[in-house]
A = this chain, B = another copy of it.
């Protein structure tokens, strides 16, 4: 994944490099273990046919990374963002399994030919776990070519990533962005910074048709909605012990 960020992927909506690198690693093992040459060739053709193949792995890697941060006492860091087509929900490291939710927005997107915003379902899917881990919309600066898929200019990609440093706690020492002189990807969304700056996570996402069975009809950039973050910050404040300081200081 670190290499793929040097090769134009952001590992949410663009996974061509990571899929290619994985293909190179798997091919000899597939050949040596397949029941026949033809089945090996077909398995690799399947993998070759989908540049998004690696998304399955980048989501899992992001989830595993963030789960390691769960149950950090009093922590205001977001460990999950997910959407189910109706609600957008987040969880904080310091608040266990509690979900804070709000209505999922309908993405502004570049729609595939024949489709438009009237066809779009509200934001849906688990893939925003990549943004939660500093990839996807947070790493757009690594993937300027993605604007052909999601809209905007290459300078927008840089701008979005630079913004995300304002709402995150750290920079990933492994996931580095060449165009920002190898600065680490902005990582660890801090709900306090989000609300203080009124600046919400950037998600670059696929758009599903609102009718089941049709599938993806576009791709675009959207902002996470405010309500889950506002509620999560309030929930964190309620969970903290009462201040026990000098009354003069709290007056």
A interface residue numbers (CB < 8 A to B):
3, 6-9, 16-17, 20-21, 23-25, 27-28, 31-32, 34, 37-38, 40-42, 44-45, 48, 144-145, 147-148, 153-155, 178-182
Contact = CB atoms under 8 A, between A and B. Distances in A.
Given A154-B179, A178-B154, A28 B8 contact: no
B7 A28 contact: no
Contacts of A8: 6-8, 17, 178
Contacts of A41: 27-28, 31-32
A141 to B, nearest CB: 10
Given A24-B20, A24-B48, A144 B37 contact: no
Number of copies of this protein chain within its complex: 2
16 contacts: A7-B7, A8-B178, A23-B27, A24-B44, A24-B48, A27-B44, A28-B45, A31-B31, A31-B40, A31-B41, A32-B37, A32-B38, A32-B41, A145-B178, A153-B181, A154-B181
Nearest to A144: B178
A93 B43 CA distance: 48
B45 A145 contact: no
Contacts of A153: 181
Nearest to A8: B7
Most chain B beta-carbon contacts within 10 A, residue among A20, A25, A41, A180: A20
Contacts of A27: 23, 27, 41, 44, 48
Contacts of A9: 7
Nearest to A42: B28
Contact of A20 (B20, B32, B37, B148): B20
